[in-house]
Amino acid sequence: MLARRLGLVVLLAACQALPSGVPLANTGGVLDDDGTARDRVAQSPAAGNVDAVLPSAVPSLSARSSGSPGSQPSPTSSALAASPGAADAGSGAATWTGEYYGSDKLVRHFEGDADDVELDEKAHTRVEEPSLGALLISIVNSSTGETICALKAVAHGTEATVSEGQSCFSEQGATASLASGRVSLKDDRLILDFSGKVVAEADEDGDTIEFELEYHFDGKRR
């Protein structure tokens, strides 16, 4: 069973390249990992799924000024407009939209084995807000610029909750499902955490392989 599980993980990983080209560190139990599903391009949205088809940059509603025509912006409003991470003083809503760059960490937890850990110091995450409080958070391949997965989240001020049951970092021959996730925004700093489970397809003996995954991103808007 152990040999089949390790063989599947190595086989799935061999089909892909890491987001940063070469992992800065792989401290876990899977050696010579040539790549993971972090490089997989997100599948095309299902027909009729309008929410999944979004423009590459949608300005946050909270970022729009409410001044009357012809009025000059005050120094305070000008300062807020110049800082994309500033909260709207009138509504208290944060401006989430932007491109964030920093570091991330992907961990696979195997029962009875050491964790498989991948680090990327060039991680890239994109946040869009197609409607007030409704976020689309895209994890971007740092070497190709392609979207690995796009996750929906609901924002309340500077905190957001990632909707459960979404898929991210799925492997060929396996599916991944998120169990929980949270996002926070402080000025221009974005922190994203989520966890989930990966289930591989049954082999010829009818056995399946399951393992937990955790993801953490910490970056600043540019």
| One pLDDT digit (tens) per residue for the chain, 222 residues | 434 444 444 434 443 444 444 344 444 443 334 444 454 444 434 444 434 433 333 333 333 334 444 445 444 444 434 444 444 433 456 899 999 999 999 999 988 888 999 999 999 999 999 999 999 999 999 999 999 999 999 999 999 999 999 999 887 788 899 999 999 999 999 999 999 999 987 777 777 888 999 999 999 999
Q: Of 55, 35, 36, 53, whose CA–CA distance to 44 is shortest?
A: 53
- Residue 207 has a pLDDT of 79
3-class SS of residue 11: helix
**pTM of the prediction?**
0.60
Q: Which domains does the chain have, with CATH numbers?
A: 2-40+90-221 (2.40.160)
- Residue 41 has a pLDDT of 40
- Residue 92 has a pLDDT of 54
* Residue 157: C-alpha distances to residues 29, 84, 165 (Å): 40, 14, 23
- Residue 51 has a pLDDT of 43
- Residue 102 has a pLDDT of 98
